[in-house]
Structure 1
Amino acid sequence: MTDTPTAEVPLFGPGSKFDTFVDDPRWALALVRALVLEAAHPQVGAALLDNSTFVAHPWRRLWNTYRSLRRMFGADDEVRAREAARLNRLHARMRAGAGERPYDAMDPEVRAWVVATLFESTVTMCRLSGQPLDPAEMDRVYAEYRAFLGALDGEEARLPGSVREFWPYYDRVVAEELENTEAVRIILYRLFDHVPAPPLLHGVPTLWAAGRAVAGPVIGAVTVASLPEAFRKRAGLAEVPGAGALLRSAYFGAGLARFLPEGWIEAETVVGLLSASPDGDDPRVRAVRDTVRRAGAFVRLVTPLPAEPAWAPPPSDDAGEFFDAVLDQTGDGRITWPDLAAMARELATRLDLDEPQETRLYTAYADWWRELQSALDTDGDGRISREEYAAGVPSLAGPALIEVAEVLFDATDTDGDQRIDAEEYRRLFRTAFRRDLSKGGEGAGEAYSRGDFVRDFLSFMAGRRRTTPFDPLLAQA
């Protein structure tokens, strides 16, 4: 028997508490807090370090996470089931049974903890902003998150049946299992201080760096102050003097957004703009891009800040830049299998692939990884350093990489006509055609041929050219 309400309003879709909170600016603070609590679990922290792109590509990761949550909490049962299956396939590929940090992303207890952090951080969000949930609302929110866990893997019973039973469970995990993991330290003391500019702000790097220098420590201090006191003490996370007042001010200020006219703040629009390519053809992107450029020009006119050079892709012969921006997807300074798996994951996510196409793409990348190891891993340590990469760049475009290009083409060419038309192109690159298709054979002006696609992909992945549509696809933060 539980005290979770059986509400008339469905747990998912319009009218749900999730639907209410998702456009609430406070929720951004709550999600950061939840991420830290997730990363403090040893298994989650290890999985994040090995597999996640949140350090090198935070805005891309933000968009993918937001879209996934929208699908899982939406009203369409079929969409939810399909997204759950995709997430389960993704998590099934994230496991390590050896070494100092074993983990399994399919561990049901770990998955329950991830959902628990979302619920508890939502409750804390409301309390800190002076709008605490009443018992009925709290029961409702808890029912939605348990239903989310059930939709994900059918194991909603991994979380206690009621809110009353949840708090002892939560306190026990905080007291007995959480640690000050390396992933926690990266989030609190590296991510916020070094987060790259979103693509639309590449044109104002000085302003971004200045704003980040102020906002980064503030977000870190607010997040630390919001964490459970028991965890802060065990982890040795010092609370900055005045952080408590700053914490309450941040949540209270974000909570004032409820007085804005409806529709003024929509998470989908904000997240979409933050992760959009600056060269996209969306009119909203162009409007923001033009506004940013004008703002940058105005600031340069009225302040002594040095001129901001226009952003441009790194030189094509700069192996180190390409290594960092494209190949090192996880941002740990080396190439390992998780970096290539992250590429496959991003491409499969963009194309919304199901089985068996998704597995075929991962298999092609796995074959390329073995080829790279054979050619570049000269010291046999199972990873490729920047120096090993620079010495063996010509070895990147071998037969296995050609197979990756072929598989990607087949996955994009949904109608199987051996051409990528405008709609298929937009599905992969999220923009209209960005290459000159007016020359070539018959119909070249209307589609991307297999030969051209494979040639461009190989040129990009071998680090020979950074001006193709593949640059924002895999290099964009």
Structure 2
Amino acid sequence: MFGPDSQFHRFFNDPRWALAVVRATVLEAAHPQIGAALADNSSFVVHPWRRLGNTLVSLQRMFGADEDVRQREAARLNRLHARLSGTDARSGPYDAMDPEVRAWVVATLFESSVTMCRLSGQPLDQVTMERLYAEFQAFLAALGDEAGHLPPTLPGFWQYYDRMVAEELQNTEALRIILFRLFEHLPAPPLFAGLPTVWAAGRALAGPVIGAITVASLPEVFRRRAGLPEVPGAQTLMQSAYMAARLARALPDNWIQTENVVGLLQLSPDGDGPWAEKLSTLRDRTKRAGALFRLLTPVPAQQDGTGGAEEAGGSSGTGGAENRRGAREFFSEVLDQTGDGYLDWPDLAAMAREICSRLDLDEPAETRLYDAFAAWWRELQAALDSDGDGRVSEEEYAAAAPSLAGPALIRVAEVLFGVTDADGDQFIDAEEYRALFRKGFGRSVVDAEGRCSRSAFVRDFLSFMSGRRRSTLYDPLLSDA
């Protein structure tokens, strides 16, 4: 059921699967409970590339051949889902541990994999389809869910799927965000972060196309019931996209391997290694060309009263140096992880979740980190929530312009050091450092023996979080899309 000989493993590096995963995500978001959980807790709007990378790593662990890795990842996913429960805007409860909800997530991945083959002109035969379904059932069982939440047979599955589409799925807020906001306003991955014009030009064309293709691929009965608009010619465009993805399978394997593609998108000039150096050089030359172009065709200064350079330069009193940013910029780029315009517990939980995922923490260390972030949230709420609505707005944050280095934030820094220091020797070595930051040591934190001490680590973290100082370490960790 698992490992390199599984049917799922063959699909994982199939270019068509990129379209299938987007489609499955939309079908998941159309489920009322999943949609509510995404809208309230997920950072997928602001950090979609980070979310994509984490999802692919998780699937690799779950479908890999190593049973110990699979059990560890299943336990991690269960802890993560256990923290996602609440009430949506319509007072409807949601719980990510609901077995019916978890079954629907797996169902969308299976059905979208089958659909991608059909739409690309290579429908699966019955034997292959049954084998793939058995693999997804095994995936659900590996999470600890009891049998019965997915029908035991393939004919029963199609009846279950048709009923869910016709009766349960809704035009949720999360679905609308994905289709009509995320695709057309997709933030640049680290690879293109320094080339906003290039990225914006490509996104302006690709965003609406991806949205139209996705809508056209959804079940017709759901499209009608949800009132989703279909662009004329979208069906032809969709068929062409799936056929093109099928033809892309003829490219060299190292070009289309999912891990390589995601790694390329996440490549940053702030990293280390030869590819990062080449990217940095290319980006510097592009910026020089752009500066020359702007010199020849200057753009008039904006007069819209939004603050312009003064706002970006640090009107909050943090200074106008390039390595500092204003309070509002820090709020939107770092603190507001979910992108809803407010700071509340889900934003800090998203930070903790990303760190736990990078370090692959076990339960005790993970709980310590979450508890530290929860205490920091209570401290922020008490200091900044002036209107008592249970959250901190950008205006409340900018007006207070606080120094965030309170006792709770210092505790976060201490716990972060502790969970990063895997061997407990009170120093962070090069391997531990790379596990968290995905790059080699920074000069400012290494002592004469080539180690990072507790004091240097804590000082660097507090400098970033309280002084709103840009960092080539923490920005990729907490700010990159």
Give the TM-score, by structure 2 length.
Answer: 0.91
Aligned partners of 1:44, 1:19: CA distance in 2, in Å?
A: 26
Q: Secondary structure at the match of 1:103?
A: strand
How far residue 291 of structure 1 moved from its aligned partner, in angstroms, is 5.1
Instruction: Output one character per residue of 1:28-71: Cα deviation in whole Å (capped at 9) or x when no partner.
Output: 00000000000000000000011111110111111100000000
1:49-128 alignment, distance < 5 Å: 49-97=39-87, 100=90, 101-128=92-119
Q: Does 1:44 align with 2:48?
A: no
Alignment correspondent of 1:3: none
Q: Does 1:16 align with 2:10?
A: no
- The letter of the residue matching 1:158 is H
Q: Secondary structure at the match of 1:263?
A: helix
Question: Of 452, 457, 463, which aligns to 1:448?
Answer: 452
Question: Of 389, 393, 403, which aligns to 2:411?
Answer: 403
Q: Secondary structure at the match of 2:379?
A: helix
Instruction: Output one character per residue of 1:306-353: Cα deviation in whole Å (capped at 9) or x when no partner.
Output: 799xxx997624111110111000111100100000001011111111
How far residue 444 of structure 1 moved from its aligned partner, in angstroms, is 3.8
Q: In 2 relative to 1, CA 98–194 (structure 1 residues): closer, same or farther, beyond 3 Å?
A: closer
Instruction: Output one character per residue of 1:226-247: Cα deviation in whole Å (capped at 9) or x when no partner.
Output: 0000100010001100000000
8 Å CA contact 1:200–1:289 kept in 2: the answer is no
- The letter of the residue matching 2:12 is V
1:362-381 alignment, distance < 5 Å: 362-381=370-389
1:328-367 alignment, distance < 5 Å: 328-367=336-375
Q: Secondary structure at the match of 2:363?
A: coil
8 Å CA contact 1:109–1:158 kept in 2: the answer is yes
Q: Does 1:428 align with 2:432?
A: no
How far residue 273 of structure 1 moved from its aligned partner, in angstroms, is 2.0
Aligned partners of 1:200, 1:80: CA distance in 2, in Å?
A: 30
Instruction: Output one character per residue of 1:205-256: Cα deviation in whole Å (capped at 9) or x when no partner.
Output: 1010000000000000000000000100010001100000000000000000
8 Å CA contact 1:317–1:463 kept in 2: the answer is no
Larger displacement relative to structure 2 (290-299 or 152-161): 290-299
Q: Does 1:467 align with 2:468?
A: no
Q: Secondary structure at the match of 1:431?
A: coil
Q: Secondary structure at the match of 1:96?
A: strand
8 Å CA contact 1:314–1:321 kept in 2: the answer is no
Larger displacement relative to structure 2 (286-295 or 448-457): 286-295
- CA-based RMSD of the aligned residues comes to 2.3
1:131-146 alignment, distance < 5 Å: 131-146=122-137
Give the TM-score, by structure 1 length.
Answer: 0.92
- The letter of the residue matching 1:390 is A
Alignment correspondent of 2:270: 279
8 Å CA contact 2:255–2:261 kept in 1: the answer is no
- The letter of the residue matching 1:27 is W
How far residue 200 of structure 1 moved from its aligned partner, in angstroms, is 1.4
8 Å CA contact 1:393–1:462 kept in 2: the answer is no
Alignment correspondent of 1:180: 171
Q: How many residues were matched structurally? A: 460
8 Å CA contact 1:300–1:307 kept in 2: the answer is no
Aligned partners of 1:35, 1:112: CA distance in 2, in Å?
A: 14
The percent of aligned pairs where both chains have the same amino acid is 67
How far residue 300 of structure 1 moved from its aligned partner, in angstroms, is 9.1
Q: In 2 relative to 1, CA 93–293 (structure 1 residues): closer, same or farther, beyond 3 Å?
A: same
How far residue 284 of structure 1 moved from its aligned partner, in angstroms, is 3.4
Aligned partners of 2:283, 2:15: CA distance in 1, in Å?
A: 22
Q: In 2 relative to 1, CA 172–284 (structure 1 residues): closer, same or farther, beyond 3 Å?
A: same
How far residue 258 of structure 1 moved from its aligned partner, in angstroms, is 2.3
Q: Secondary structure at the match of 1:396?
A: coil
How far residue 304 of structure 1 moved from its aligned partner, in angstroms, is 12
Aligned partners of 1:253, 1:303: CA distance in 2, in Å?
A: 38
**Structure 2: which 5+ runs fail to align?**
300-312, 314-320
